[in-house]
Structure 1
Amino acid sequence: MKPLLLIILYCAAVTLPLLASWLVGGPPRPFRHELASGLGILAFSMILMEFVLSGRFKKISTGIGMDVTMRVHQMMARTALIFAMLHPFLYRGTASGGQRPWDPTRQLTITTDFYDLSSGITAFLLLPCLVLLAVGRTKLDYKYETWRLMHGIGATLIAALLLHHTVYAGRYGSQPVMTWLWLVMTGLAIVSLIYVYLVAPLRETARPWRVTSVTRLTPGQWEVTVAPEKHPGLDFKAGQFVWLNVGHSAFSLKENPFSICSAPAAGSKISFMIKELGDFTRTVGQIKPGTIAYLDGPYGSLTVDGRNEPGIALIAGGVGIAPLLGILRELRQTGDPRKVKLIYGNRTDNQIAFRDELDEEDVTYVVSEPTAAWQGEKGFIDPALIDRVFSPLEIKEWLFVMCGPGIMMDIVEDHLITRGTPSRHILSERFDYD
């Protein structure tokens, strides 16, 4: 789906309850109170849309990139949090309590019925906890699988609490039309969660894979290859990634995202380059051939399919070589005539993977902590290195594809744009945020 269409659909979905509330109408109230209701409505609708922005829907994440999808997910969650936090304080000073002679429908007052307010108060306390735990996830000492389960349960609980609060304590939510609208939107959000956690894994059980080999590439880096079992395999583009689950049930949360380093044209087997970093990756060397695996994907938009630039520049930092290797291999497998240059950075020279294969290409290695015997580029991938490797014409006309540490990609992108590279000629995906 096109990015502009996705933006339009998102804005329409988020503002639909607000528009419907305006159409339902009611007796006039001070602007501050209408603003409070509006912020509450927007916060709830944005929270429900967060279920769709989870990154597991290919029409969305592939259309605009997984990194953009997740960045929007984070930004909208924080915006919803601000709206939700402001919502109750704008009602301060409002007359509250039971029925008044001048307000038989209680449309001008705020209820003090604790049952009606309790769900909103609970959601008010839970929402900032959910957001803060997500922001600080990498700094907390618990497994990704644990956080993912907590995040999913917490988001579902908050949605249920807000539905109750909106229908029973809201001025507009109690209207039949609005009640049905909120029920439908909440239902769709829960259905999306059911799809991710139940339907998608159920489909994966019919398409199992088996590990065929586990090969050490360098100290701490491995290549894992899987083959489809009784099915044709995966239809993917070079540069994309999948969520890989090895040795567990298809319904297990023990899955991790890895870029595919093999070429689609090379056959049905798929290979991944995995670096020892977390709980699962430290045990990669212990995986036995024949172990069952499941793949959820493909995802990502870091592909050169359909591009017509005269040359392709691949810039990789560390394990970021994986998707770029897949692109390079596909270009060679399909006989693409375009010229390709690769810059591949690592901390030490013994971390350079697939060197025998890459030495056949136009490659520039750069090492930040070189040994005394190292004869190649030293330091980091920086503007000076970019200018040495690429001519001014190549910088302006070629396609630049990057994967690696965020700071590296920021520096290179800024420099390329300064030197005249059109932004549409720069492809990158980021997966680490604040």
Structure 2
Amino acid sequence: MNPRLLLAIYLAITLAPLGLSAFSGRPARSLWDELASGAGMLAYAIILAEFLLSGRFRSISRRIGMDVTMRFHQLFARSALVFALLHPFLYRAPSKPPYPWDTTRQLTLTDDLSAIASGVAAWLLLTPLVLQAIGRDRLDMRYEVWRLMHGLGAAAVAALLLHHTLAAGRYSADPVLAAVWIGLFAIALASLLSIYLVKPVLKRMRPWVVDSVRPVAARTWEVTLAPRGHGGLRYLAGQFAWLNIGHGPASLFENPFSISSAPAAGNRVAFIIKELGDFTRTVGRIRPGTPAYLDAPHGHLCVAGRDEPGIALIAGGVGIAPLLGILRQLRLDRDPRPTLLAYGNRVAEQIVCRDEIDDLARHHGTRVIHALQEPPPGWTGHSGMLDAAFFRDHLADPGMREWLFVICGPPAMMDAAETALIGLGVPARQIICERFRYD
């Protein structure tokens, strides 16, 4: 889906209720009352549209990346919170029973406690829901628990606001606008159900099993899965999957990992996983034969279909995973374009698949530049980080400005790489990256 088309659809969804209310034919109220209603409608429309952004729909995220999709999700959620917080404080009309001659409630607000209570409950629930998402990394809470609470909380807010909108909303007395609200709520609910009900069923129909687990660097493993009873996964080198190992298909115990294997290598898929915490802490103890499930493929960190004259891959730490998959695919495709791999780590023991990378340099012609922050004695590679100075020293060749640059690694390194490359004259359209952290 074209990013501009995605934005147009999103704006159409969020602005449709406002447009319908403007042409409802009801007499206007004071400016403050109209602003209050508009803020409330915008908040609710954004909240309903948020379900689509968080639904892992590949048609939405494939073109612009899951990181951009989720960044939009975060920013719009915060905008919805601002509109929702302002909504009740902007009203100036009194809350009382309608006057006999004021059938359209031009002069008063409803005093129906049940209609107001659902809105107040949603208003009180929305603030901690958004704040909890903003500060998730600082919470002492497992990701799976947070995800369940976030999903249920969002569904509760949407349901409460539907009741409040239909029962208390002046413009929602229009049957067309009421039908739009119900339709948008149904779409949002269907999006949620697709994640928690439909996708588990589909995953159960296409199970996987752990084929091997091998160490590829210090506290880093490559886990290979084999399909069980089906032909495998169609994907592009550089994409990622939500991986669930050792749990049922409906389990919330799944996490995103980049695919490190090449599609042309066969029907097995591999993931490079570093021990960091929670599930990854025990990855080295996973036994072959353990059942697994995939929600895949996702992501746009791919070079397939790109025609730039060269490809530079910039990796930091375990960010090598999707780039290794790309290099493996390029080698199998006998792609003649020059390739460069700039790979940064803290110490040499963290270099993933070092023998294979050296072999790529010898037989595929990939130019490999290792960078270590703490190099051992006799180190002949680059000493230091993948920072602006590194890129000026190694990627400033004017001939490389037409290359494609693919970046994956820690957020600070990715930011530095993007800034440095643009400073060297590389157009932004030739730089692709994908983040799993968005703030």
Q: TM-score, normalised by structure 2?
A: 0.97
Deviation at 1:103, TM superposition (A): 1.7
- 1:344 aligned counterpart, secondary structure: strand
CA distance in 2 between partners of 1:157 and 1:101 (Å): 35
Would the aligned equivalents of 1:311 and 1:394 in 2 still touch at CA under 8 Å? Answer: no
Partner of 1:376: 381
Match of 1:428 among 414, 433, 439: 433
CA deviation string 1:284-310 (max 9, x = no partner): 011110011001010000000111111
Q: Which amino acid letter does the alignment assign opposite residue 120 of structure 1?
A: G
Q: How does 1:288-327 map to 2 (within 5 A)?
A: 288-327=287-326
Tell me what 2:408 maps to: 403
| Residue identity opposite 1:144 in structure 2 | Y
Matched with 2:422 is 417
Q: One-letter code of the match for 1:316? A: A
Tell me which residue corresponds to 2:364: none
Contact 2:237 2:259 in 1 (8 A): yes
Instruction: Report how far residue 23 of structure 1 moved.
Output: 1.8
In the alignment, the residues of structure 2 paired with residue 99 and residue 208 of structure 1 have an alpha-carbon distance, to the nearest angstrom, of 60
* Distance in 2 between residues matched to 1:241 and 1:22, nearest whole Å: 44
Structure 1's unaligned 5+ residue stretches are: none
1:144 to partner: Cα distance: 0.5
Q: Distance in 2 between matches of 1:204 and 1:229?
A: 11
Distance in 1 of aligned mates of 2:225 and 2:334: 25
> Which portions of structure 1, spanning 4 or more consecutive aligned residues, are displaced by more than 4 angstroms?
none
Which amino acid is the alignment partner of residue 300 of structure 2?
S
Bigger Cα displacement from structure 2, 185-194 vs 106-115: 106-115
- Compute the displacement of 1:96 (Å): 2.0
Aligned to 1:88: 88
2:55·2:192 contact (CA, 8 Å) conserved in 1?
no
SS at match of 2:278: coil
- The SS at the match of 1:94 is coil
How far apart are the structure 1 equivalents of 2:55 and 2:240?
A: 12
1:394 deviation in Å? 3.4
SS at match of 2:199: helix
Q: Distance in 2 between matches of 1:31 and 1:152?
A: 35
Judging changes above 3 Å, is the alpha-carbon distance between structure 1 residues 389 and 105 closer, same or farther for their aligned structure 2 residues? Answer: closer
**Residue equivalent to 2:134:** 135
Equivalent-residue separation in structure 2 for 1:217 and 1:120 (angstroms)? 54
Matched, 1:366 2:371: yes
Alpha-carbon distance between aligned partners in 1 of 2:270 and 2:309, rounded to the nearest angstrom: 28
Contact 1:14–1:46 (8 Å) recurs in 2: yes
Gaps of 5+ in 2: 362-366
How many pairs are equivalent?
Answer: 433
Deviation, structure 1 residue 396:
1.2
* Deviation (angstroms), 1:105: 4.1
**Which whole-Å CA distance do the structure 1 matches of 2:55 and 2:175 have between them?**
33
Match of 1:10? 10
Contact 2:28–2:106 at 8 Å: present in 1 too?
no
Q: Map of 1:41-52 to 2, 5 A cutoff?
A: 41-52=41-52
TM-score between the two structures when normalised by the length of structure 1 = 0.98
Task: Tell me the residue number matched to 1:210.
Answer: 209
Q: Partners in 2 of 1:17 and 1:28 — Cα distance?
A: 16
Name the CA distance, whole Å, in 2 between partners of 1:347 and 1:149. Answer: 35
- Would you say the 8 A contact 1:395–1:419 is kept in 2? no
1:341 aligns with 2:340: yes
Counterparts of 2:437 and 2:244 in 1: how far apart (Å)?
21
1:220-279 CA deviation, whole Å, 9 max, x = no partner?
100100011111100000000000100111000000100000100000000100001121
Matches within 5 A, 1:226-241: 226-241=225-240
User: What RMSD over aligned residues (CA atoms) do the two structures have, in Å?
Assistant: 1.2
Post-superposition offset of 1:39: 1.1
